[in-house]
Chains A and B, each alone.
Chain A
Amino acid sequence: MRREGSPFQGLGTVAVKELADNLSSARMFVLEMLIVLTALAALYGAIDNLRQNTAEDPFLLLRLFTVDRAPLPSFIAILGFLIPLMAIGLGFDSINGEHNRRTLSRILAQPIYRDALLMGKFLAGLATLAISLAALWLMVIGLGLIFLGVPPGGEEIARSLAFLVVAIFYAGVWLSLAMLLSIVFRSAATAALVALGVWLFLTVLWPMLAPALAQVIAPPDPRFAALGLDTPDTAIWAQTLSRVSPNHLFGEAMLAVLSPTTRSLGPVFLDQLRGAVMGAPLPLGQSLLIAWPQMVALIAGTIVLFVAGYVVFQRQEVRA
């Protein structure tokens, strides 16, 4: 049976209202402050480091993103850690909040489909994250201009824009997950706890577990160990397992895009490097090609998790 009317009716209205709510909420302000302050600290470290240690670098601006000075991690590492927190903060109560405020049945009694409500909330969340990340991006470039005094080249801007797009979809994965949990769990606290649990597991525990699991699946060969080398099978398994975590995918994609000298993200045999000029930067297209699988995985993750939430939401009972 086909239903009549457009599923997008009211989408814009919902998205605009949710965006206004997101941007004006105290929660968003706190999360933004957290990210901006940590990012500023990381950038300060990076700028200090670059001023003292780098004589000449064709990609000085990009180094701002990736260089770190102990004890602070790099700007990218901080974003990889904090973007999920921001996305979860935006999404964990999006649907169950409507349930608990008892606004859901009133809103759905208006001439719109549920699709518009869910999609509008998702788009508003993604737009909020995109605005925040774009502001951060501008902040990095501005600080680079002020403190390093080197105008960025076209390729640097292009690469940092690629960073922005990947970061938005990385946030999208976590936003979709948080919204899925907000649909599945009626209590916002439960949804938030589960989302934070998944986040901690994937960003902190999984990088430690993945190599251990790889060693169980493909035990290291003592002959390689005797030579002081990693067993190829084990290394490949470790990498494959690590890539389950969006955090790892984000890190890999950023490495390829922001460090133009990156030639591969996996284990490489020596014969594959024959003829390569080590240390020479790759053209932008080639770097994007290296990061392409990671980018697609992040976009696909966003869509798959959103669709899962969509299916559950369509079948859910409205009554409280």
Chain B
Amino acid sequence: MSDDGNEAATAANDTAANDIVIAARGLTKRYNGLSVVDAINFDIVRGEVFGLLGPNGAGKTTTILMMLGLTDISAGKVSVLGYDPARSPLQVKRRVGYLPDTVGFYEHLTAVENLSYTAKLMGLSATERPRRIAAALARVQLLDVADKRVATFSRGMRQRLGLAEIIVKQAEIAILDEPTSGLDPQATHEFLGLIGELKAEGVTVLLSSHLLDQVQRVCNRVALFQAGRIVLMGPVADLARQVLGAGFVVEVEADGAGLARRLATIPGVTDVETLAEDRFRMTADRDVRPDAARAVVAANGSLRRLSVDEPSLEAIYARYFKTHKEPFAGARHAA
């Protein structure tokens, strides 16, 4: 018993020192001997927005459920705010808000009734509840439909109501599972704005998604899941360097004699692709736009367009799975 106490105290100290709120070590989940989540490690720092990316079935939701103590951990351990979710799930769930994918509400109850039920389960006092619920509904712009039945709500409104629940809880960590899938662009935009507000308040946000551009817009760091493993982790820019080799893709639209050759000689350029007679795509490890402009002028050409692509997660993702799937397929054929 005293051992456990010491362990918990050490864990709390570690957390305070590095401000790591979630730490997973060798976290594994097996169903019938099949590893759905396979010995993953990650640390999430207080206040960051961390993205869990990957195709459906890659183990993102299972990882989330293990962090909340909603499913058993087969091996390894995870600590959430210094607590072990398998051992003290109530402590974890008191501090962590969870928005499941395709969140559901009691259709015959109003928005306020739904929230006050969960607020009661959170153990909030009768005086605290109405105040927090009204504030949360105002934050997610649902105050004018607060007394309408949830049955009449659109998908976007339901997602915002789910977020309101996390706000009512005043959670330190918000775990959002596929929060924007199935939302229209306007609703998605609003929802991402709300996530940004949470982040500004110092809430740590864990976001799982397969919609890459959204993740890229809000996440500080991402972890790329594949078949139960984290294959890549870090800030998007770092991943771009790792996977794409070079960070910058510059497109040039210009004419001029021997332009492709001239562009290729610019220092830092690794590849020049000729898309059309007057369009070229350069891959470089730095922003080579000024050099490209000089090259066009030197070739007596007329420069019509010069653009640089931000390193996109989409490109990283596509490139990663393109290069890493083929060996698997080969191995399977060989077997």
Q: Is A240 engaged at the interface, CB distance under 8 Å to the other chain?
A: no
User: B87: which A residues are within 8 A, CB to CB?
Assistant: 1-4
**Most chain B beta carbons < 10 A, residue from A13, A21, A111:** A111
Which of B71, B91, B104, B108 makes the CB contact (< 8 A) with A4? B91
- In the complex the two chains form, is B90's CB within 8 Å of A13's CB? no
Complex Cα distance A112/B97, Å? 13
CB distance from B156 to the nearest CB of A (A): 16
- In the complex the two chains form, is A13's CB within 8 Å of B88's CB? no
Q: Interface 1/0s, chain A 98-112, versus B by CB < 8 A?
A: 000111011111111
Q: Is B191 engaged at the interface, CB distance under 8 Å to the other chain?
A: no
Q: Is B68 engaged at the interface, CB distance under 8 Å to the other chain?
A: yes
**Most chain B beta carbons < 10 A, residue from A4, A13, A107, A109:** A109
Complex Cα distance A108/B64, Å? 13
User: A108: which B residues are within 8 A, CB to CB?
Assistant: 70
- In the complex the two chains form, is A101's CB within 8 Å of B104's CB? yes
Which of A4, A13, A21, A318 makes the CB contact (< 8 A) with B65? A318
- In the complex the two chains form, is A4's CB within 8 Å of B88's CB? yes
Complex Cα distance A116/B2, Å? 29
Taking A318-B71, A319-B65 as contacts, is the C-beta distance between A111 and B93 under 8 angstroms?
Answer: yes
Q: Interface 1/0s, chain B 275-307, versus A by CB < 8 A?
A: 000000000000000000000000000000000
Taking A317-B71, A319-B61 as contacts, is the C-beta distance between A102 and B100 under 8 angstroms?
Answer: yes
Complex Cα distance A166/B165, Å? 42
B contact patch SS: mixed
- In the complex the two chains form, is A10's CB within 8 Å of B103's CB? no
- Which of B48-56, B114-122, B219-227 forms part of the interface with chain A? B114-122
Q: Is A113 engaged at the interface, CB distance under 8 Å to the other chain?
A: yes
- In the complex the two chains form, is B86's CB within 8 Å of A1's CB? yes
Q: Is B89 engaged at the interface, CB distance under 8 Å to the other chain?
A: yes
Q: Is B162 engaged at the interface, CB distance under 8 Å to the other chain?
A: yes
- In the complex the two chains form, is B70's CB within 8 Å of A112's CB? no
Q: Is B98 engaged at the interface, CB distance under 8 Å to the other chain?
A: yes
CB distance from A92 to the nearest CB of B (A): 18
- In the complex the two chains form, is B86's CB within 8 Å of A109's CB? no
- In the complex the two chains form, is A109's CB within 8 Å of B106's CB? no
Q: Is A9 engaged at the interface, CB distance under 8 Å to the other chain?
A: yes
Complex Cα distance A111/B168, Å? 14
Complex Cα distance A4/B93, Å? 12
Q: Is B94 engaged at the interface, CB distance under 8 Å to the other chain?
A: yes
Q: Is A228 engaged at the interface, CB distance under 8 Å to the other chain?
A: no
Instruction: Count residues on chain A whose CB falls below 8 Å from chain B CBs.
Output: 27
Q: Is B153 engaged at the interface, CB distance under 8 Å to the other chain?
A: no
- In the complex the two chains form, is B70's CB within 8 Å of A109's CB? yes
Q: How many A-B contacts if CB must be within 8 Å?
A: 86
- In the complex the two chains form, is A102's CB within 8 Å of B122's CB? no
Q: Is B14 engaged at the interface, CB distance under 8 Å to the other chain?
A: no
CB distance from A94 to the nearest CB of B (A): 13
Which of A2, A17, A101, A317 makes the CB contact (< 8 A) with B107? A101
Q: Is A5 engaged at the interface, CB distance under 8 Å to the other chain?
A: yes
- In the complex the two chains form, is A13's CB within 8 Å of B104's CB? no
Q: Is B317 engaged at the interface, CB distance under 8 Å to the other chain?
A: no
Residue of B nearest to A116 (CB): B121
- In the complex the two chains form, is B105's CB within 8 Å of A103's CB? yes
Q: Interface 1/0s, chain A 1-36, versus B by CB < 8 A?
A: 111110001100110010001000000000000000
Taking A113-B90, A318-B70 as contacts, is the C-beta distance between A10 and B104 under 8 angstroms?
Answer: no
Q: Is B41 engaged at the interface, CB distance under 8 Å to the other chain?
A: no
Taking A110-B93, A319-B61 as contacts, is the C-beta distance between A3 and B98 under 8 angstroms?
Answer: no
User: B68: which A residues are within 8 A, CB to CB?
Assistant: 109
- In the complex the two chains form, is A107's CB within 8 Å of B98's CB? no
User: A3: which B residues are within 8 A, CB to CB?
Assistant: 86-89
Residue of A nearest to B121 (CB): A110
Q: Is B312 engaged at the interface, CB distance under 8 Å to the other chain?
A: no
Residue of B nearest to A99 (CB): B104
User: A14: which B residues are within 8 A, CB to CB?
Assistant: 121
User: A113: which B residues are within 8 A, CB to CB?
Assistant: 89-90
**Most chain A beta carbons < 10 A, residue from B68, B88, B93, B97:** B93
User: A17: which B residues are within 8 A, CB to CB?
Assistant: 117
Which of B61, B98, B102, B104 makes the CB contact (< 8 A) with A109? B98
CB distance from A293 to the nearest CB of B (A): 41
Which of B61, B118, B162 makes the CB contact (< 8 A) with A107? B118
Q: Is B123 engaged at the interface, CB distance under 8 Å to the other chain?
A: yes
Complex Cα distance A21/B107, Å? 12
Q: Interface 1/0s, chain B 62-84, versus A by CB < 8 A?
A: 10010010110000000000000
CB distance from B22 to the nearest CB of A (A): 15
Q: Interface 1/0s, chain A 78-98, versus B by CB < 8 A?
A: 000000000000000000000
A113-148 interface with B by 8 A CB criterion: 113
Complex Cα distance A103/B115, Å? 12
- In the complex the two chains form, is B90's CB within 8 Å of A106's CB? no
CB distance from A37 to the nearest CB of B (A): 26
Which of A1, A111, A319 makes the CB contact (< 8 A) with B94? A111
Complex Cα distance A111/B162, Å? 16
CB distance from B122 to the nearest CB of A (A): 6
CB distance from A113 to the nearest CB of B (A): 7
Complex Cα distance A36/B262, Å? 94
User: B93: which A residues are within 8 A, CB to CB?
Assistant: 109-112
9 closest A-B pairs by beta carbon, nearest first, are A102-B104, A109-B98, A5-B90, A110-B121, A4-B88, A111-B94, A105-B100, A13-B120, A101-B104
Known: A5-B91, A101-B107, A106-B98. 10 other contacts (CB 8 A): A2-B87, A3-B86, A106-B105, A106-B165, A108-B70, A109-B70, A109-B93, A111-B94, A319-B61, A320-B102
Residue pairs across A and B with Cβ atoms less than 8 A apart, 16 shown, are A1-B87, A2-B87, A3-B89, A10-B123, A101-B107, A102-B100, A105-B100, A106-B105, A109-B97, A109-B98, A110-B93, A110-B122, A111-B90, A318-B70, A319-B61, A319-B62
